[in-house]
Amino acid sequence: MRKTYTQTGQSAQLNEKLDHILAGKTLQERAARAQEIATKDVTFAPYMAMASIKSEKIVGLPEGVPDTFTPETDVPDGVADTTVRQEFRRIRNFLPYGTMKNLKAHDREQAWMNILMGVHYKEAKLLTMIKEQTLFVEYPELRDVLIELKVPVDVEAPVAEKSTKKSKTVKEKKAPKPK
């Protein structure tokens, strides 16, 4: 049986919390779920701020994940050395007013890599989206939930990309001619 957020409590991974929020049918239900999570997990609101407020963006790191990052994708949820909740005090140092700005670029990247390697691969993916403020590309409904909760979201909503490639049509095979 799949565990729900209420069964796992604070120990749920960030991706599980977001899935729980978006499982709500209405915007009000989603907002209530987000509020419930924020009251139980003090790191949830700051992570959502990092993802949605330009002045709270993680800085001093290159885009994407490091080239040497090779996540273990065959592990189930909940199996990792640490979680983003446990790593919050380290991650907040990457904010513009954090202490990581005093380190050399290589040392900052190594510290970030260590965090990514310790968390579950789904949380590492979310951390990368939070760092680049692209969380709303993967979770577009989350933006409306945060606005409903009066979070001062100033990150642009994702725009649906139009495909510039012409779609290839599948040629129908002709039936063989009867002899």
Query: Does some domain include residue 44?
Result: yes
**Which residue range is the domain that position 68 belongs to?**
5-148
Instruction: Yes or no: say if 49 and 97 are a contact pair by the CB < 8 Å rule.
Output: no
Which candidate, 5, 131, 135, places its Cα nearest to that of 61?
A: 131
**Residue 166 located in a structural domain:** no
Q: What is the pTM of this model?
A: 0.81
pLDDT greater than 50 at residue 163: no
Q: Which of the residue ranges 88-92, 106-110, 118-122, 157-161 would you say has the lowest mean pLDDT?
A: 157-161
pLDDT at 160: 60
Confidence (pLDDT) at 165: 44
pLDDT at 9: 57
Q: Read out DSSP for 52-81?
A: H-GGG---SS-SSS-TT----TTSPTT-SS
In a domain, 178, yes or no: no
Point out the least confidently predicted range of 36-40, 52-56, 141-145, 167-171.
167-171
What are 123's two structure tokens?
């949380």
Quick check: helix, strand or coil at residue 59? coil
- Report the distance separating Cα 105 and Cα 17, nearest Å: 32
Q: How far apart are CA 91 and CA 132, in angstroms?
A: 14
| Mean pLDDT rounded to a whole number for the chain | 85
- As for how many domains the chain has, the answer is 1
